[in-house]
Structure 1
Amino acid sequence: MSLANLMQQYVELNQLENLEGISKTKIEGVFFYRSSKGNNRQPFVYQSGVIVLGQGHKNIYLGDKPVRYGSEDYLVVGVPMPLECESFPDNGEPLLGLSISIDPQVLHRLVNKLESLHCYKPHDERCVGAGLGAVKMDDGMLDVCKRIMKALCCPIEAEILADSLMEELAYRALMSSEGQVLFDLARHDGHYARVAKALEFLHNNYHETVTVQHLAQQANMSVSAFHQAFRDVTLESPIQYMKKVRLNKARELIQLEGVRVGVAARSVGYNSTSQFSREFKRHFNQTPTEINATADD
């Protein structure tokens, strides 16, 4: 049975025929995605982990550079990335996919083991790179993704096999052509891992006043070195990244939780609702009120 067929079986078993977006699954850190219509190009924040597409295709944009991925492709994302995405159903069938977080402890254990087996050669630290590219599934990755879907269709298997399946998936991702970002993430002394630590702090404190100096301190780097490393990893300046994170969080509050515009603005650190509305409109090409009206429909 194909990965797409297994995902459709999961939809039918869990009565998700009307799902438009993401839902939690029985396996912690694994989220199921379905969209019947897709979406036009718009801003998103891709969370770190492995993003698997079983059906349909997407274009993601790092600046103006498109990265296309489709059925049985996946992405390896080292740190949360604000980018733009458009998605398309194929042959009238809905997009189906998985978003899978990788447990940091599992990642570190695997990297330590692989390094002890001399399966990793460090690259030039000066070439940090955003490291976001589509990978066609080899037999090993396709097999573990199918077994994850089979486990999700059987609660007992999901409970018993989850840990081993997540560890195998992390291993397959590490050994892929884009696995370098995960190795770098596990190296505490590297620029990539230091920027990732600062990003974790930012995502936990986006509603507070966070300065570039504070983020540089979290990374244990000088401001100038941090600024360059941050741009290498995220393709954004720290200020622009912070703004995009806050605006995306606000959109989630408005769309998914029905929070009022003024409350959403204050919740993500804006003191001025008018400034928030201007920046929201500039970023999403819609006002917060228009987003709210869409959510109410």
Structure 2
Amino acid sequence: MADEAHVFSMVVGWSYRVLELAEALAPTVGHHITPAPTVSVFRADSAAKNVPKFQQPGTLFILQGTEKLSCPGNVHIVDPDHFMLTSAPVAFHIDTDAAVTKPLLSVHVAFDPATAMDIASQMEWQGGAISKPAAICQTSGRIDDSMKDFLYRLLTTLCDPLACRILIQGLIRELHFLLLQRDEGSAILAGLEGRGARGKVLKTAAELLDRRRVGITINTVAASAELGLSSYHSHFKALFGSTPLEYLKAARLHDARNLLRSRDVNIAAVGQAVGYKGTSQFSREFHRHFGRTAREERKLLEISKSNSDLV
């Protein structure tokens, strides 16, 4: 009983300390940039339901509250005991559990493929066994003691600007190392290296998101992955939970939402900037995706300034 009480005390103590640090970094509702550009802290004091989000590559930690990220074929529950990693942009619908008396507090650390691959090369050079499974780009896992220790040190460092300037790069590298050591680390790496059919498909996602590729077609992208169109679609949906066109549409609409923050760009120009030739089609698809018109979204963004994101 004494040992159990000691463990409980340590868990409660850790939770209290990390929440105190997170609240100092995010004292108000919304997304907060930290002294480390690749790390952000988010706070919400109300629950969100079925909110679309184009999640950027990174590791998501929830320190208080719960976040459910859903796409067809994959559902991730992120809470104080579980984290989520995405190594490529993924479109989700998100539900959160939050209240004024118990706000949602989360930390997002950007994922850097170059860092991950450098670490993997050193692991192999040292004789570490790295298996060759099918590629994935999204996974979740349990926060063990090593990850808890990392989170505490990360938040402590972020609260000290001098320590952050000196130590943050080492901490970010440490996180990538911890992630690659986990069971699905080698599957994430397979995607980064383009191994196998799914790895090749994953590598083409950047082509779909590259606005400079004028006239790009799914046939062209499938051919670059050395796959037939049907096979390409099948593997793409297994990775992202959507078809390539649905994925591209979600990315364009979220880019449009970001452009709406500027009053200097009219709504028709916003649609054209993200690839829509007609304003009516852009308006229709924006409303279908976000549940609001682009004009309504702009007003909401103006009212709540830059921190209007719900998730």
TM-score (norm 1): 0.86
On the 8 A contact 1:49/1:102 being kept in 2, the answer is yes
On the 8 A contact 1:132/1:178 being kept in 2, the answer is no
Matches within 5 A, 1:1-297: 1-2=13-14, 5-12=17-24, 16-20=26-30, 22-63=31-72, 66-89=75-98, 92-116=101-125, 117-123=127-133, 125=134, 128=135, 132-205=138-211, 208-254=214-260, 256-258=261-263, 259-297=265-303
Alignment size in residue pairs: 289
Question: What RMSD in Å do the two structures reach over aligned CA positions?
Answer: 2.5
2:10 aligned partner? none
Q: Name the larger-Rg structure.
A: 2
One-letter amino acid of the counterpart of residue 199, structure 1: A
Inter-CA distance 231–173: structure 2 relative to 1 (3 Å threshold): same
- Structure 2: give runs of 5+ residues left out of the alignment: 1-12, 304-311
SS in 2 for 1:251: helix
One-letter amino acid of the counterpart of residue 92, structure 2: L
* Alpha-carbon separation, structure 1, partners of 2:138 and 2:212: 24
Deviation at 1:7, TM superposition (A): 4.8
Deviation at 1:201, TM superposition (A): 2.7
SS in 2 for 1:119: coil
Further displaced range: 132-141 or 62-71: 62-71
Inter-CA distance 56–257: structure 2 relative to 1 (3 Å threshold): farther
Further displaced range: 212-221 or 234-243: 212-221
- Structure 1: give runs of 5+ residues left out of the alignment: none
One-letter amino acid of the counterpart of residue 104, structure 1: P
On the 8 A contact 1:74/1:137 being kept in 2, the answer is yes
SS in 1 for 2:157: helix
Deviation at 1:32, TM superposition (A): 1.8
**Residues 49-69 of structure 1: CA distance to partner in whole angstroms, max 9, x if unpaired?**
211111111111122764322
On the 8 A contact 1:207/1:268 being kept in 2, the answer is no
Inter-CA distance 282–147: structure 2 relative to 1 (3 Å threshold): same
Deviation at 1:119, TM superposition (A): 2.8
One-letter amino acid of the counterpart of residue 101, structure 1: A
* Alpha-carbon separation, structure 2, partners of 1:176 and 1:135: 9
Deviation at 1:221, TM superposition (A): 4.2
One-letter amino acid of the counterpart of residue 155, structure 2: M
SS in 1 for 2:200: helix
* Alpha-carbon separation, structure 1, partners of 2:266 and 2:23: 32
* Alpha-carbon separation, structure 2, partners of 1:149 and 1:167: 15
TM-score (norm 2): 0.83
SS in 2 for 1:257: coil
On the 8 A contact 2:45/2:99 being kept in 1, the answer is no
On the 8 A contact 1:4/1:55 being kept in 2, the answer is no
One-letter amino acid of the counterpart of residue 115, structure 1: E
